[in-house]
Amino acid sequence: MMIAFAVESTPTYYISSFMQGHASFLASPSTQRARAIHESRFIMSSTTPCILDRTSDRIESSQPDYPTDDVCASPDIEWDVQTRAIHSGLSPDPTTGAILTPIYQTTTYVQDAVGQDRGFTYSRAGNPTVYALEKQLAALEGVDVPAVAYSSGLAAITALFLAETSAGDTVICSDVVYGGTVRLCKDILSRFGVRAVFVDTSDINAVEQALTDNPQTRIVFIESPANPTLKLTDIQAVATVAHAFGATVAVDNTFLTAALQKPIDLGADIAVYSTTKYIEGHNSTVGGALITKDSLRYELYKHAQKTLGAPQSPWEAWLTIRGLKTLPFRIRQHSIHALEIARWLEADERVATVYYPGLPSFSQHELANRQHINQLHGGMISFEIQGGASAGITLMNNVELCSLAENLGAVETLITHPASMTHASYADEERDRLGITDGLVRLSVGLEHPRDIIADLDRALHIACT
């Protein structure tokens, strides 16, 4: 069924004040139109039509202009990613001139009169510090629509699925993904009539077959590189096939961030992040984000953020803003360190298998070089050592510099046992089939000197293999 709705011309706004910018964004015709579309889901009109195909929820329209209050949005300025990470979406405090975004630690906002606010009314619905982070994330991704920041990465994924699906719909998901995504699909969404099909998305033929077999598919959800095996998906190829079937494509880009991979530029509709990881990068916060260039989807995700009660907090948003400013430098160094350590592991006879996209021996090395920016491949390594599961566990129990913990992407090197930590929700036989064996070690390479990390691993390997 095809539903038509009206599209009016929308002016471009350039507003200097941070607060005025957000108020204008909320009041702009394009935003008001998108909110109305979300609330009714379909609007019939005989005026200039734009088509919303309800068989797929894909919107066939050009994107409206957005009000912007940061200089980087000017089409005359194209800053490098390092500059955008520091300046884009951010502006000095309009009251004091403070160069850092203030922490607006407030629940509510005094209104000038009934029906007259200054762009914010209640912090569950919107907060100036959080909004600054949302603009900063969008600028790094290269889109004009603000991101939507959530209380965790899993909250962002939950909002995505609830906003995009209804009972009777299907989600096609990469077979190797974060364990929390699997729990969400199998334990929660299934209870509300949303079916999840797990597919090897590195195999484009398998993706096409799954779409053919599941015509009610609303989303193809990709994780690339996949956690923890680092298996890659050709995002552009999957997006082309999925869009031909009317499905939306979302990519969990947590392992690389927009500094090393741009899912939307590769054809995806949504980039998904746990900002807890590389984006904040200091083991200080928990957060997540959805990013799209589609104004209508933005409104869906913003409504889900408010209705589910899962916004990012101002304090954690401020810490994430601070961390994001150094992301391009940090993740480049993470990548350099990881490659050096992966080469050392691969050359050590005590190590059975090493998975790192930057190694020529990696089965998808060519795709990695094509898809990852500047042929940098992030800071994540997975490996198995001789002696199997017991030796791998002994290794993890005897590191000293590396920390045994459930996180990644921080300045500290973290070592993780996926089978008992991040992917414990998988059945044993399923984990083995996917390569998440009891002996698999996941290493999030930090910013310590590689020589010191190698020395720590060498000592622990000596204990594990003797």
Q: What is the pLDDT of residue 77?
A: 52
Q: What is the pLDDT of residue 78?
A: 81
Task: Give the 3-state DSSP-derived string for the chain, with helices as H, strands as E and coil as C.
Answer: CEEEEECCCCCCCECCCHHHHHHHHHHCHHHHHHHHHHHHCCCCCCCCEEEEECCCCEEECCCCCCCECCHHHCCCCCCCHHHHHHHCCCCCCCCCCCCCCCCCCCCECCCCECCECCCCCECCCCCHHHHHHHHHHHHHHCCCCCCEEECCHHHHHHHHHHHHCCCCCEEEEECCCCHHHHHHHHHHHHHHCCEEEEECCCCHHHHHHHHHHCCCEEEEEEECCCCCCCCCCCHHHHHHHHHHCCCEEEEECCCCCCCCCCCCCCCCCEEEEECCCCCCCCCCCCCEEEECCCHHHHHHHHHHHHHHCCECCHHHHHHHHHHHCCHHHHHHHHHHHHHHHHHHHHHCCCEEEEECCCCCCCCCHHHHHHHCHHHCCCCEEEEEECCHHHHHHHHHHCCCCCEECCCCCCCCCEEECCCCCCCCCCCHHHHHHHCCCCCCEEEECCCCCHHHHHHHHHHHHHHHCC
Set 169, 234, 252, 294: catalytic member: 252
pLDDT, averaged in runs of 10, over the chain (466 residues): 35 34 47 44 29 34 36 54 92 91 96 95 96 97 97 98 98 94 95 97 98 98 96 98 98 98 98 98 98 97 97 98 98 98 98 97 98 98 93 95 96 93 74 82 97 98 95
Set 66, 178, 301, 356: catalytic member: 178
Q: Is 252 a catalytic residue?
A: yes
Set 262, 277, 293, 431: catalytic member: 277
Set 124, 183, 306, 322: catalytic member: 124
Task: Please name each of the domains of the chain with its CATH number.
Answer: 79-324 (3.40.640.10), 328-464 (3.90.1150.10)
